[in-house]
Amino acid sequence: MSTDIDQAGLAARITGFVDAVVTPIAPTMARGAGPSPKRIVEAAGEAGLAGILTPPAFGGAGASHSDFIEFIEAVARADASCAVILDVHLSVGTEPLLVFGNNDQKSRYLRRLAAGEWLAAFALTEAAGGSDAVALRTRAVRDGDSYLLDGAKAFITGAGDADLYIVMARTGDGPHGVSAFLVEAAWPGVTTGMPLSKMGLHGSWTGELVLDGVRVPAANRLGDEGMGFTVAMSALDSGRVGISAQAVGIAQGALDAAVEASRRRGEGGSATDMPALADMEVRTSAARQLTRYAAALVDAGERVTLDAAIAKLYSTDTCVAVAQSAVDLCAPESGADDHSAAVRFRDAKACQIYEGTNQIQRVVIARHLLRD
């Protein structure tokens, strides 16, 4: 946790935001009928939480990653769609600008993002390449003081509502031929399709971003030419810690529902539910500790590739298992589409897929073991 910020004040702001904004809209978010992602980030901005990692000099809270994961877990416990909207905005949407942006880029964009006036998104994945990020085909061709971007990105969180996209595009061959760009949604040639109809996380928009001859000033290249893959991978390293926190929150929310159902069945809880409840608590608690450890490493400035992969893999597998047990323990009511355990079960599955599938996390972990 950051030592020079008011921790009690931050914790109170987080609780206030969850109670006043997130909990009341959770049922409508689950139906995909809630406020748009931008409205969620706007509300976070009003609570001083849309730039939690951004330094106060740029209008943010100046908090640490350890604070950030507590925020994401608390939001996800109430509603997973709001959590992923905020996580992507704060983490992969804003953090690359904090780490790789120059002063001009920071002063042009950070304040609006931290105030919640603008929603940020991260555009790496393409339909053809999927998990093989190096295979991306979107091209950026230098033309005087700018680049012309052409291509299409897929499965982009916030597409259609975001104001600023961090776009990875090819300026050469291989992983060192990728560059990162700050692309404003309002620029000519930027279009988005309809949001995908997903299994869960209905309140979070996911869709395509099409770039058709988009003229991007060279001043909007994030980092040096050829550094884009490093920008993307390091953003994902820390982003995966946020997704891990989201998974812990979903697991905790599912556990809350199961405990409540068990209490209703018998005074002090039903004895037959006890082993399942205990297992759910153990896994959720272990996932939380892995997430906190990875966040502390980010705060210490350590490379977190391995520990983020471990936390993301374990926590997201945990939230699926815990949510599934919650569906069992809350039956038969949990058979209803809108029961909180059913909603969490559907939401949990997506966490195993985005910000690097869990198969990719296993590749990252195993490669570490096999490296000389």
325 in the Ramachandran plot: left (φ > 0), alpha (ψ -120 to 50) or beta? alpha
Q: Specify the stretch interacting with ligand COS by CB under 6 A; choose among 10-18, 34-42, 219-227, 228-236.
A: 228-236
Q: Specify the stretch interacting with ligand COS by CB under 6 A; choose among 7-15, 52-60, 277-285, 360-368.
A: 360-368
Q: For ligand COS, which is the closer residue by CB, 34 or 356?
A: 356
Q: For ligand COS, which is the closer residue by CB, 132 or 212?
A: 132
355 is known as an active-site residue: yes
First to last CA, the chain: 34
Alpha-carbon distance 338 to 352, whole Å? 21
- Residue 324 CA, distance from chain mean position: 22
Q: For ligand COS, which is the closer residue by CB, 50 or 133?
A: 133
Residue 134 as a binder of ligand COS (CB under 6 A): the answer is yes
107 in the Ramachandran plot: left (φ > 0), alpha (ψ -120 to 50) or beta? alpha
* Residues in 159-188 that interact with ligand COS by CB under 6 A: 175
Q: For ligand COS, which is the closer residue by CB, 221 or 312?
A: 312
Residue 220 as a binder of ligand COS (CB under 6 A): the answer is no
Residue 201 as a binder of ligand COS (CB under 6 A): the answer is no
- Residue 210 CA, distance from chain mean position: 21
Residue 358 as a binder of ligand COS (CB under 6 A): the answer is no
Q: For ligand COS, which is the closer residue by CB, 95 or 273?
A: 95
Alpha-carbon distance 113 to 94, whole Å? 7
Selected catalytic residue, list 70, 95, 126, 355: 355
Alpha-carbon distance 120 to 184, whole Å? 10
Q: For ligand COS, which is the closer residue by CB, 110 or 133?
A: 133
Residue 306 as a binder of ligand COS (CB under 6 A): the answer is no
Mark residues 258-297: x for contact with ligand COS by CB under 6 A, - for none: ----------------------------------------
What is the nearest approach in angstroms of ligand COS to the Cβ of residue 133?
Answer: 4
Residue 359 as a binder of ligand COS (CB under 6 A): the answer is no
Residue 205 as a binder of ligand COS (CB under 6 A): the answer is no
* Residues in 45-64 that interact with ligand COS by CB under 6 A: none
Residue 196 as a binder of ligand COS (CB under 6 A): the answer is no
| Sole binder of ligand COS in the list 124, 222, 319, 341 (CB under 6 A) | 124
Q: Specify the stretch interacting with ligand COS by CB under 6 A; choose among 34-42, 62-70, 336-344, 351-359.
A: 351-359
Q: Specify the stretch interacting with ligand COS by CB under 6 A; choose among 112-120, 229-237, 268-276, 278-286.
A: 229-237
| Sole binder of ligand COS in the list 64, 94, 125, 179 (CB under 6 A) | 125
Q: Specify the stretch interacting with ligand COS by CB under 6 A; choose among 130-138, 267-275, 292-300, 332-340.
A: 130-138
Catalytic residues: 355
Binding residues for ligand COS (CB under 6 A): 124-125, 131-134, 175, 229-230, 233-234, 236-237, 305, 354-356, 360, 363-364
